[in-house]
Amino acid sequence: MLRRHLLALAVIAAPAAALAQGPEIAVYTARHYDTDAQLYEAFTRATGIRVRTIQADADQLVARIRSEGANSPADVFITVDATRLARAEQAGILQPYASAAIDQRVPAALRDPNGQWFSVTMRGRVIMYDKQAGRPEGLNRYEDLADPRFRGQICVRASNHPYNIALATSILAADGAEATEAWARGVAANLARPPQGGDRDQFRALPSGQCRIAISNTYYLGHVGRSERPEDQALFQRIGVIFPNQAPGDRGTHVNVSGAGLVKTSPHPAEARRFLEFLVSDQAQEILAQGNMEYPAVPGAPMHPLLRAMGEFRAEGIEPLRDPAHATQALQIMQRAGWR
Protein backbone atom coordinates (compact mmCIF):
# COMPACT_ATOMS: atom_id res chain seq x y z
CA MET A 1 0.00 0.00 0.00
CA LEU A 2 1.24 3.46 -0.86
CA ARG A 3 2.44 5.24 2.25
CA ARG A 4 0.62 8.57 2.31
CA HIS A 5 2.77 10.13 4.99
CA LEU A 6 6.32 11.23 4.33
CA LEU A 7 8.88 8.75 5.54
CA ALA A 8 12.66 9.07 5.63
CA LEU A 9 14.66 5.88 5.29
CA ALA A 10 18.44 5.63 5.18
CA VAL A 11 19.60 2.64 3.15
CA ILE A 12 23.12 1.60 4.05
CA ALA A 13 24.65 -1.20 2.07
CA ALA A 14 28.38 -0.74 2.57
CA PRO A 15 30.50 -1.13 5.70
CA ALA A 16 29.68 1.54 8.27
CA ALA A 17 33.29 2.70 8.50
CA ALA A 18 33.48 3.23 4.75
CA LEU A 19 30.25 5.19 4.74
CA ALA A 20 30.80 7.29 7.85
CA GLN A 21 32.33 10.14 5.90
CA GLY A 22 31.02 9.24 2.46
CA PRO A 23 28.60 11.22 0.31
CA GLU A 24 24.83 10.83 0.50
CA ILE A 25 21.96 11.67 -1.85
CA ALA A 26 18.28 12.15 -1.05
CA VAL A 27 15.83 10.40 -3.36
CA TYR A 28 12.23 11.62 -3.19
CA THR A 29 10.21 8.69 -4.51
CA ALA A 30 6.58 7.76 -5.06
CA ARG A 31 7.55 4.14 -5.67
CA HIS A 32 6.99 1.83 -2.71
CA TYR A 33 8.46 -1.54 -3.60
CA ASP A 34 10.91 -3.75 -1.70
CA THR A 35 12.81 -4.14 -4.96
CA ASP A 36 13.82 -0.49 -4.82
CA ALA A 37 15.63 -1.01 -1.51
CA GLN A 38 17.76 -3.65 -3.28
CA LEU A 39 18.45 -1.08 -5.99
CA TYR A 40 19.68 1.52 -3.53
CA GLU A 41 21.85 -1.03 -1.75
CA ALA A 42 23.43 -2.10 -5.05
CA PHE A 43 24.20 1.53 -5.91
CA THR A 44 25.81 2.12 -2.52
CA ARG A 45 27.94 -1.01 -2.85
CA ALA A 46 29.09 0.08 -6.30
CA THR A 47 29.83 3.73 -5.51
CA GLY A 48 30.02 4.25 -1.74
CA ILE A 49 27.26 6.85 -2.05
CA ARG A 50 24.49 6.36 0.48
CA VAL A 51 20.84 6.77 -0.49
CA ARG A 52 18.27 8.31 1.82
CA THR A 53 14.69 8.09 0.58
CA ILE A 54 11.67 10.24 1.27
CA GLN A 55 8.48 8.41 0.28
CA ALA A 56 5.06 9.88 -0.44
CA ASP A 57 2.75 10.23 -3.42
CA ALA A 58 3.99 12.32 -6.32
CA ASP A 59 1.92 15.44 -5.66
CA GLN A 60 3.03 15.52 -2.02
CA LEU A 61 6.67 15.22 -3.02
CA VAL A 62 6.43 17.99 -5.61
CA ALA A 63 4.73 20.24 -3.08
CA ARG A 64 7.39 19.46 -0.49
CA ILE A 65 10.26 20.21 -2.87
CA ARG A 66 8.65 23.50 -3.85
CA SER A 67 8.06 24.50 -0.22
CA GLU A 68 11.65 23.61 0.72
CA GLY A 69 12.91 25.85 -2.08
CA ALA A 70 16.65 26.36 -2.42
CA ASN A 71 17.22 24.56 0.87
CA SER A 72 15.62 21.30 -0.30
CA PRO A 73 17.80 18.24 0.34
CA ALA A 74 16.17 16.47 -2.62
CA ASP A 75 18.57 15.28 -5.31
CA VAL A 76 16.43 12.89 -7.37
CA PHE A 77 12.68 12.68 -8.00
CA ILE A 78 11.11 9.33 -8.95
CA THR A 79 7.47 8.55 -9.63
CA VAL A 80 5.10 6.37 -11.63
CA ASP A 81 3.16 7.77 -14.62
CA ALA A 82 4.48 10.06 -17.33
CA THR A 83 1.83 12.68 -16.67
CA ARG A 84 3.01 13.02 -13.07
CA LEU A 85 6.57 13.44 -14.31
CA ALA A 86 5.36 16.12 -16.71
CA ARG A 87 3.61 17.85 -13.80
CA ALA A 88 6.89 17.89 -11.89
CA GLU A 89 8.58 19.44 -14.92
CA GLN A 90 5.87 22.10 -15.21
CA ALA A 91 6.19 22.81 -11.47
CA GLY A 92 9.78 23.82 -12.12
CA ILE A 93 11.41 21.37 -9.70
CA LEU A 94 13.58 19.57 -12.28
CA GLN A 95 16.64 20.44 -14.33
CA PRO A 96 18.16 18.68 -17.37
CA TYR A 97 19.96 15.52 -16.31
CA ALA A 98 22.51 16.07 -19.12
CA SER A 99 23.75 12.50 -19.52
CA ALA A 100 24.84 10.98 -22.82
CA ALA A 101 24.82 7.56 -21.14
CA ILE A 102 21.11 7.84 -20.36
CA ASP A 103 20.24 9.18 -23.79
CA GLN A 104 22.14 6.36 -25.47
CA ARG A 105 20.44 3.61 -23.48
CA VAL A 106 16.84 4.84 -23.13
CA PRO A 107 14.94 5.23 -26.42
CA ALA A 108 13.92 8.78 -27.32
CA ALA A 109 10.24 7.77 -27.21
CA LEU A 110 10.65 7.06 -23.48
CA ARG A 111 12.46 10.30 -22.61
CA ASP A 112 11.30 13.85 -22.08
CA PRO A 113 12.45 15.77 -25.18
CA ASN A 114 13.54 18.62 -22.91
CA GLY A 115 15.90 16.25 -21.11
CA GLN A 116 14.32 16.75 -17.69
CA TRP A 117 13.29 13.14 -17.01
CA PHE A 118 13.40 9.67 -18.50
CA SER A 119 11.62 6.34 -18.13
CA VAL A 120 13.17 3.63 -15.99
CA THR A 121 10.60 0.84 -16.40
CA MET A 122 7.39 0.16 -18.33
CA ARG A 123 4.09 -1.61 -17.67
CA GLY A 124 1.89 -2.45 -20.61
CA ARG A 125 -1.82 -1.64 -20.23
CA VAL A 126 -3.28 -4.59 -22.04
CA ILE A 127 -6.45 -6.51 -22.75
CA MET A 128 -6.83 -9.90 -21.04
CA TYR A 129 -9.19 -12.80 -21.66
CA ASP A 130 -9.87 -16.36 -20.46
CA LYS A 131 -8.08 -18.79 -22.74
CA GLN A 132 -10.71 -21.45 -22.03
CA ALA A 133 -13.42 -19.14 -23.37
CA GLY A 134 -11.26 -18.19 -26.34
CA ARG A 135 -9.88 -14.92 -27.62
CA PRO A 136 -12.68 -12.46 -28.44
CA GLU A 137 -12.88 -12.03 -32.20
CA GLY A 138 -12.25 -8.60 -33.63
CA LEU A 139 -10.45 -7.29 -30.54
CA ASN A 140 -7.07 -5.99 -31.67
CA ARG A 141 -7.04 -2.30 -30.79
CA TYR A 142 -8.06 -0.22 -27.78
CA GLU A 143 -10.63 1.38 -30.06
CA ASP A 144 -12.30 -2.04 -30.52
CA LEU A 145 -13.30 -2.07 -26.83
CA ALA A 146 -16.18 0.26 -27.75
CA ASP A 147 -17.62 -2.14 -30.35
CA PRO A 148 -21.24 -3.12 -29.49
CA ARG A 149 -20.35 -6.77 -30.07
CA PHE A 150 -18.68 -6.67 -26.63
CA ARG A 151 -21.76 -5.37 -24.81
CA GLY A 152 -21.76 -6.47 -21.17
CA GLN A 153 -18.33 -8.14 -21.39
CA ILE A 154 -15.69 -5.71 -20.03
CA CYS A 155 -14.26 -5.49 -16.51
CA VAL A 156 -12.16 -2.42 -15.72
CA ARG A 157 -11.42 -0.25 -12.70
CA ALA A 158 -12.78 3.28 -12.19
CA SER A 159 -12.16 5.98 -14.78
CA ASN A 160 -10.45 8.29 -12.30
CA HIS A 161 -7.52 5.96 -11.67
CA PRO A 162 -4.28 7.29 -13.22
CA TYR A 163 -3.86 4.12 -15.30
CA ASN A 164 -7.18 4.69 -17.07
CA ILE A 165 -6.68 8.44 -17.32
CA ALA A 166 -3.36 7.79 -19.07
CA LEU A 167 -4.98 5.29 -21.45
CA ALA A 168 -7.76 7.73 -22.33
CA THR A 169 -5.15 10.48 -22.79
CA SER A 170 -3.42 8.23 -25.32
CA ILE A 171 -6.72 7.72 -27.16
CA LEU A 172 -7.33 11.47 -27.08
CA ALA A 173 -3.94 12.21 -28.62
CA ALA A 174 -4.45 9.61 -31.34
CA ASP A 175 -8.10 10.06 -32.23
CA GLY A 176 -9.25 13.49 -31.02
CA ALA A 177 -11.84 14.59 -28.47
CA GLU A 178 -15.01 13.64 -30.37
CA ALA A 179 -13.82 10.12 -31.14
CA THR A 180 -12.51 9.67 -27.59
CA GLU A 181 -15.91 10.56 -26.13
CA ALA A 182 -17.61 8.09 -28.46
CA TRP A 183 -15.04 5.48 -27.41
CA ALA A 184 -15.55 6.13 -23.70
CA ARG A 185 -19.32 5.97 -24.14
CA GLY A 186 -18.95 2.64 -25.93
CA VAL A 187 -16.69 1.22 -23.22
CA ALA A 188 -19.14 2.33 -20.52
CA ALA A 189 -21.97 0.62 -22.40
CA ASN A 190 -19.92 -2.56 -22.69
CA LEU A 191 -19.13 -2.92 -18.98
CA ALA A 192 -20.07 -6.23 -17.39
CA ARG A 193 -20.39 -4.57 -13.97
CA PRO A 194 -19.82 -1.15 -12.39
CA PRO A 195 -16.09 -0.35 -12.13
CA GLN A 196 -14.70 -1.75 -8.90
CA GLY A 197 -11.47 -2.94 -7.32
CA GLY A 198 -7.94 -2.87 -8.69
CA ASP A 199 -6.35 -4.35 -11.77
CA ARG A 200 -6.04 -7.85 -10.30
CA ASP A 201 -9.77 -7.89 -9.59
CA GLN A 202 -10.49 -7.40 -13.27
CA PHE A 203 -8.69 -10.47 -14.61
CA ARG A 204 -9.59 -12.57 -11.57
CA ALA A 205 -13.22 -12.14 -12.67
CA LEU A 206 -12.57 -13.81 -16.04
CA PRO A 207 -12.65 -17.54 -15.15
CA SER A 208 -15.98 -17.21 -13.32
CA GLY A 209 -17.56 -15.63 -16.37
CA GLN A 210 -18.32 -12.31 -14.69
CA CYS A 211 -16.70 -10.75 -17.74
CA ARG A 212 -15.00 -11.92 -20.89
CA ILE A 213 -12.59 -9.02 -21.29
CA ALA A 214 -10.40 -7.36 -18.64
CA ILE A 215 -8.17 -4.28 -18.83
CA SER A 216 -5.10 -4.46 -16.63
CA ASN A 217 -1.42 -3.63 -16.37
CA THR A 218 0.94 -6.49 -17.17
CA TYR A 219 2.88 -6.37 -13.92
CA TYR A 220 -0.18 -7.35 -11.88
CA LEU A 221 -0.54 -10.57 -13.87
CA GLY A 222 3.20 -11.13 -13.59
CA HIS A 223 3.00 -10.98 -9.80
CA VAL A 224 0.21 -13.55 -9.83
CA GLY A 225 2.29 -15.85 -12.03
CA ARG A 226 5.26 -15.54 -9.67
CA SER A 227 3.16 -16.51 -6.65
CA GLU A 228 3.90 -19.87 -5.03
CA ARG A 229 0.17 -20.56 -4.62
CA PRO A 230 -0.95 -23.25 -7.09
CA GLU A 231 -4.23 -21.45 -7.73
CA ASP A 232 -2.37 -18.29 -8.74
CA GLN A 233 -0.06 -20.18 -11.07
CA ALA A 234 -3.11 -21.87 -12.62
CA LEU A 235 -4.77 -18.48 -13.10
CA PHE A 236 -1.66 -17.10 -14.80
CA GLN A 237 -1.67 -20.01 -17.25
CA ARG A 238 -5.35 -19.47 -17.97
CA ILE A 239 -5.21 -15.76 -18.77
CA GLY A 240 -4.45 -14.69 -22.33
CA VAL A 241 -2.95 -11.30 -23.15
CA ILE A 242 -3.68 -9.08 -26.13
CA PHE A 243 -1.16 -6.31 -26.82
CA PRO A 244 -3.32 -3.76 -28.65
CA ASN A 245 -2.51 -1.57 -31.66
CA GLN A 246 0.35 -3.67 -32.99
CA ALA A 247 -0.44 -3.59 -36.72
CA PRO A 248 2.13 -1.96 -39.00
CA GLY A 249 1.69 1.79 -38.86
CA ASP A 250 -0.34 1.68 -35.66
CA ARG A 251 0.91 3.49 -32.56
CA GLY A 252 1.70 0.49 -30.34
CA THR A 253 0.55 -0.64 -26.92
CA HIS A 254 0.05 2.06 -24.32
CA VAL A 255 2.52 1.84 -21.43
CA ASN A 256 2.66 3.35 -17.97
CA VAL A 257 6.20 4.21 -16.95
CA SER A 258 8.25 4.82 -13.86
CA GLY A 259 10.67 7.65 -14.38
CA ALA A 260 13.31 9.79 -12.72
CA GLY A 261 14.70 13.29 -12.92
CA LEU A 262 17.36 15.50 -11.37
CA VAL A 263 15.96 18.00 -8.88
CA LYS A 264 16.69 21.61 -9.83
CA THR A 265 18.08 22.52 -6.40
CA SER A 266 20.02 19.27 -5.89
CA PRO A 267 22.83 19.86 -3.37
CA HIS A 268 24.74 16.88 -4.81
CA PRO A 269 24.22 16.99 -8.59
CA ALA A 270 27.32 15.00 -9.52
CA GLU A 271 26.38 12.12 -7.19
CA ALA A 272 22.75 12.37 -8.28
CA ARG A 273 23.73 12.01 -11.93
CA ARG A 274 25.74 8.91 -11.04
CA PHE A 275 22.60 7.48 -9.48
CA LEU A 276 20.47 8.36 -12.51
CA GLU A 277 22.97 6.71 -14.82
CA PHE A 278 23.04 3.68 -12.53
CA LEU A 279 19.26 3.35 -13.00
CA VAL A 280 19.78 2.51 -16.68
CA SER A 281 22.67 0.09 -16.12
CA ASP A 282 22.09 -3.60 -16.83
CA GLN A 283 22.37 -4.36 -13.12
CA ALA A 284 19.73 -1.84 -12.07
CA GLN A 285 17.40 -2.67 -14.96
CA GLU A 286 17.53 -6.33 -14.00
CA ILE A 287 16.81 -5.56 -10.33
CA LEU A 288 13.83 -3.42 -11.28
CA ALA A 289 12.42 -5.66 -13.98
CA GLN A 290 12.97 -9.01 -12.29
CA GLY A 291 11.98 -7.82 -8.84
CA ASN A 292 8.76 -5.99 -9.66
CA MET A 293 7.67 -7.68 -12.89
CA GLU A 294 8.11 -4.53 -14.98
CA TYR A 295 9.51 -4.22 -18.48
CA PRO A 296 12.96 -2.61 -18.64
CA ALA A 297 13.16 0.74 -20.37
CA VAL A 298 16.55 -0.18 -21.84
CA PRO A 299 16.19 -2.43 -24.92
CA GLY A 300 17.79 -5.82 -24.46
CA ALA A 301 18.00 -5.59 -20.67
CA PRO A 302 17.10 -8.79 -18.78
CA MET A 303 13.36 -9.46 -18.52
CA HIS A 304 11.51 -11.84 -16.24
CA PRO A 305 10.59 -15.10 -18.06
CA LEU A 306 6.93 -14.75 -17.03
CA LEU A 307 6.73 -11.40 -18.79
CA ARG A 308 8.42 -12.87 -21.82
CA ALA A 309 5.81 -15.64 -21.76
CA MET A 310 3.04 -13.07 -22.19
CA GLY A 311 4.45 -12.17 -25.60
CA GLU A 312 6.44 -9.43 -27.26
CA PHE A 313 5.01 -6.05 -28.15
CA ARG A 314 5.84 -2.65 -29.59
CA ALA A 315 5.25 0.16 -27.09
CA GLU A 316 3.75 3.57 -27.68
CA GLY A 317 5.96 6.46 -26.59
CA ILE A 318 5.26 8.87 -23.76
CA GLU A 319 4.70 11.96 -25.94
CA PRO A 320 0.84 11.85 -25.65
CA LEU A 321 1.15 12.03 -21.85
CA ARG A 322 3.45 15.04 -21.59
CA ASP A 323 0.69 17.65 -21.26
CA PRO A 324 -1.16 17.31 -17.92
CA ALA A 325 -4.02 19.39 -19.35
CA HIS A 326 -4.78 16.54 -21.75
CA ALA A 327 -5.10 14.16 -18.80
CA THR A 328 -7.65 16.47 -17.20
CA GLN A 329 -9.59 16.64 -20.45
CA ALA A 330 -9.48 12.84 -20.84
CA LEU A 331 -10.94 12.30 -17.36
CA GLN A 332 -13.71 14.81 -18.02
CA ILE A 333 -14.54 13.00 -21.26
CA MET A 334 -14.73 9.59 -19.57
CA GLN A 335 -16.94 10.81 -16.76
CA ARG A 336 -19.20 12.75 -19.14
CA ALA A 337 -19.55 9.56 -21.17
CA GLY A 338 -20.78 7.61 -18.15
CA TRP A 339 -17.58 5.71 -17.29
CA ARG A 340 -17.57 6.09 -13.52
Residue 45 CB burial class (10 angstroms; 0-12, 13-18, ≥19): exposed
CA distance 46 to 48: 6
- The CA-based angle 143-162-202, given to 5 degrees, is 65
Pairwise CA distance, residues 86 & 112, whole Å: 8
**Which residues are annotated as part of the binding site?**
32, 219-220
User: Which residue pairs from 171-180 have beta carbons closer than 8 angstroms and sit at least 24 positions apart in sequence?
Assistant: 171/142, 171/143, 171/330, 172/320, 172/326, 172/329, 172/330, 172/333, 173/319, 173/320, 173/326, 174/251, 174/320, 175/143, 177/329, 177/333, 180/330, 180/333
Other C-beta atoms within 10 Å of 282: how many?
Answer: 13
Question: Residues forming the annotated binding site for Fe cation?
Answer: 32, 219-220
Distance in angstroms (rounded) separating the CA atoms of residues 265 and 226: 40
Contact 256, 110 (CB under 8 A): no
